Structure 1
């Protein structure tokens, strides 16, 4: 297991339990206390966890990890997922990209494409793609969320509904074993639902840490997707959802 994947799992354990100790993490991951302390220092420096005596705690059970901290969780896996998603999208296509660090990786992987029309409520994606030759970037109106540069609210939903595009790239905060797609902000969920409803081919992108996370707001169901790209899927029920719904399950591996 790579350090980034172990750290992602530590964050999820802290989210589920509220707090984790060095002792229990040593036993869970079969590594030295020094390794765990280093992991906790990294995660606390990123704002993903807060230090406690003998361990660390998650900042909140109903809020997402800060955006910059999420960027550092499984970065190699996200880059590989981004490249795989970009490979599904031809030149001269129209597409939606929603908020998230994995969808941001997709946006970065589209740099070599030509003739794209990209409609997004993700300022980070827009800022990256705006300099790509022959790519037209259309950004939704609405309320800019300070935490991550996402644009949310009814104005963004109404804007998205004006389009019917070839592809939608959707990132999520969590995936339940039954295939439910989950997020933390009901305003962002409304935008994601509008994106799904107005695309001909829906691509869900999520690394394996999303299988162990929880979030309170339902976006929809994995069966609404046409393609699901992850680094590795070890959840049999998710594989069954993909098989039953005819979803293309693409696993990229760790890097």
Structure 2
């Protein structure tokens, strides 16, 4: 079943804020408590939300911290990963970077390279590399989501599909022995798949 616009808004709000009461969601979305109840009820029945002490929240398996918080956590480890990954990139290559805290630190480390063609859906990555060290930056458009700091949707996929890259650098949520690379969000997974294919 496709989510309604209110269900999408509720899910986005919960990704940004964490657990919320019905009243908090209603106030944030500027709708009635009953509208929120109706839409969260369906999400709970589908297993996309859980009830938690008078509020609703994402199930733990779906709960990824907001992008802004992930950028400020474990920064030294993220910088070391970024430098290690950037060390594998050669000047002049075409590189795809999806949105994520780790790939943002990779972009920072790529300032040591020159003349890259960078394709990304992440605003922070584009901002870091734009106009520096002869890099050419292509920013995929589409529905921009604050919770992930990146654009997703068919418009983003269409731009990515126009390129063939030497390397795709992805920020993933997990690795499963059977299913391979996994992510918290279907839209982000689609962008990653398009980058892998390109």
Normalised to the residue count of structure 2, the TM-score between the two structures is: 0.67
Residue 112 of structure 1: aligned partner: 112
Residue 219 of structure 1: aligned partner: none
Q: CA RMSD in A?
A: 1.7
**In structure 1, C-alpha distance between the alignment counterparts of 2:92 and 2:124, rounded to whole Å:** 21
- Alignment deviations for residues 19-65 of structure 1 (CA, whole Å, 9 cap, x no partner): xxxxxxxxxxxxxxxxxxxxxxxxxxxxxxxxxxxxxxx97522311
3-state DSSP of counterpart to 1:192: helix
Do the aligned partners of 2:122 and 2:151 also contact (CA within 8 Å) in 1? yes
Q: Does 1:89 align with 2:81?
A: no
Instruction: Go from structure 1 to structure 2 and tell me whether the alpha carbon gap of 1:159 and 1:106 turns closer, same or farther (over 3 Å shift).
Output: same
Instruction: Go from structure 1 to structure 2 and tell me whether the alpha carbon gap of 1:178 and 1:76 turns closer, same or farther (over 3 Å shift).
Output: farther
Residue 129 of structure 2: aligned partner: 129
Q: Does 1:99 align with 2:99?
A: yes
Aligned residues: 141
3-state DSSP of counterpart to 1:103: helix
Greater share of helix: 2
List structure 1 segments (4+ residues) > 3 angstroms apart after TM superposition.
none
- Alignment deviations for residues 64-120 of structure 1 (CA, whole Å, 9 cap, x no partner): 111122123322111111111111110011110001000011000011211111010
Residue 49 of structure 1: aligned partner: none
3-state DSSP of counterpart to 1:126: helix
Greater share of strand: 1
What is the deviation of 1:131? 3.5
3-state DSSP of counterpart to 2:111: coil
Residue 149 of structure 1: aligned partner: 149
Matches within 5 A, 1:102-251: 102-178=102-178, 180-198=180-198
- Alignment deviations for residues 203-247 of structure 1 (CA, whole Å, 9 cap, x no partner): xxxxxxxxxxxxxxxxxxxxxxxxxxxxxxxxxxxxxxxxxxxxx
- Alignment deviations for residues 151-188 of structure 1 (CA, whole Å, 9 cap, x no partner): 10011111111111111111101223546211122111
**In structure 2, C-alpha distance between the alignment counterparts of 1:184 and 1:168, rounded to whole Å:** 19
3-state DSSP of counterpart to 2:73: coil
Q: Which runs of 5+ in 2 are unaligned?
A: 1-56
Q: Which runs of 5+ in 1 are unaligned?
A: 1-57, 199-255
What is the deviation of 1:149? 1.9
